[in-house]
Amino acid sequence: MPITSQQLLQILPNASQVAGVFVPVLNTAMVRYQIVGAKRIAAFIAQVGHESGHLVRLVENLNYSADGLANTWPSRYGEPDGKGGFVKVQVAGKVRNKPNTLALIAARKPEQTANIAYGNRMGNTAPGDGWKYRGRGLIQITGKNNYRACGEVLGLDLIAQPELLEKPQHACMSAAWFWATNGLNTLADAGKFDAITQRINGGQNGATDRQALYAKALKVLA
């Protein structure tokens, strides 16, 4: 069952300006990678909806504050406490990791942040690769190795033109490729939504919003 524009907007109301563009390419991508049936489609739309800010953000925003850096990448930007953890501080009533000196230097410098966070891993070996191969698409494909693997399957030269993943059709298809490659249809069938979040995010960042979108999607698609 293809998703309709009306259903998509019930789940992702902030996608009103782009729904007409995304519905056909979402359906094409989901069919190609067997993201079919209410459970799979609901989980997929919820996850890509969260990752992309309701389909409007197709490239990773790395304009972090020092606090944001310390709590997104604590191993790189958190102040060690000497006990295997990180020094904690109160920020707006919440307990947060204290930024280290590197976080204070890189704050609000997206390109520098990407090169520090992603440099010398995921196939990023040349200077600037971290920024060049930062997250793109509805499920942010990140790192030169992942761009290469995705491009080989989709028939795109993503090493030379990584920005192709910012085009709606490729943003959708790359997300569906990632979904299928990581066995997320099986997890969706089993209702293991938190496990899907873990594989996409590497943690549970944004779990509350993801779960809310998932519940809404299941209701809309029932």
Structural domains in the chain plus CATH codes: 5-59+162-221 (1.10.530), 64-107 (no CATH)
The least confident of 91-95, 134-138, 194-198 is 91-95
Residue with tokens 């890509």: 48
Give pLDDT, residue 131: 97
User: Which tens digits make up the pLDDT trace of 71-128?
Assistant: 988 988 999 999 999 999 998 889 999 999 999 999 999 999 999 889 999 999 999 9
Residue (of 38, 45, 222) closest to 138 by Cα position: 45
- Can you say whether the dihedral through the CA atoms of 178, 198, 52, 77 is positive or negative? negative
Judge whether 161 and 167 are in contact, CB under 8 Å.
no
Give pLDDT, residue 205: 84
More confident residue, 92 or 145: 145
Give how far Cα 22 sits from Cα of 3, 15, 29, 141, 144, Å. 10, 9, 10, 18, 26
